[in-house]
Amino acid sequence: MHMSANTAERAPEQGPLMPPPDTPATPQAEVVEDPDGAMLLRFAAGDPEAAGVLTARLAPRALGVAMRVLGNRAEAEDITQEAMVRLWRQAEHWEPGRARLSTWLYRVVMNLCIDHKRRLRGGHVDLDAIPDPPDPAKSAAEQMQDGARQDALQAALMQLPERQRQAVVLRHIEDLANPEIAGIMDISVEAVESLTARGKRALAAILAGRRAELGYNDG
């Protein structure tokens, strides 16, 4: 009888086997969903289709960033090719869940661009902007105006200080979130906000005298 009483007293101790209601789902919260990272692991495991899928997903984005930062398509293509080579080398060492693969690739592209510009310091930079494919629904005049806007934006970007240009490209052209940009540029979120704000103001000042020419309405 005494044994059954002790058993009854100890029964509630089985409760902790169930998760407490206020226990945060830490493992799930820390895992970063990353289809690109999963595809890279498939590439490392020998999936013959993974390389093509990743190239189609990531290479155009890497090229776009390099193009906006460097202002030269040929140089941007070289940077993109080197970044993708480094990505394939990273495959067998990739640790899923720590960061998005695209974030890692953006950072590689930025570092390669910085190194490239250091080697060319003082040299001529060709403003060879990538034009968007013509929209057949637009008139020739509208297409010319779109091209003029792209050229003007690229030329204005090239007048920004290096770090401002990087932050503006990642935030307002690639549409990345500030925390992700902070990881790519290895700076704080506050520094990202400051760089993008100053970059936007500088771009507005550079383009202020061309608003009417480029078809922007002030109203």
d(CA 10, CA 174): 59
15 or 200: which carries more pLDDT confidence?
200
d(CA 127, CA 15): 68
Average pLDDT, the chain: 78
Contact 113, 105 (CB under 8 A): no
Q: pLDDT digits over 168-194, tens only? A: 999 988 989 999 999 999 999 999 999
Phi (first) and psi of residue 215, to 5 degrees = 85, 20
pLDDT on residue 5: 44
pLDDT on residue 98: 79
- Across 149-174, average pLDDT: 89
- Across 134-154, average pLDDT: 60
pLDDT at 139 over 60: no
Give me the amino acid identity at 3: M
For the beta carbon of residue 159, count every other beta carbon within 10 angstroms: 12
pTM: 0.66
For the beta carbon of residue 104, count every other beta carbon within 10 angstroms: 22
pLDDT on residue 25: 45
Give me the amino acid identity at 175: D
Domains of the chain: 32-130 (1.10.1740.10), 131-219 (1.10.10.10)
For the beta carbon of residue 184, count every other beta carbon within 10 angstroms: 26
Q: pLDDT digits over 103-132, tens only? A: 999 999 999 999 988 887 654 434 333 334
Q: What is the residue whose two structure tokens read 């690639």? A: 174
Q: What is the residue whose two structure tokens read 């030329």? A: 155
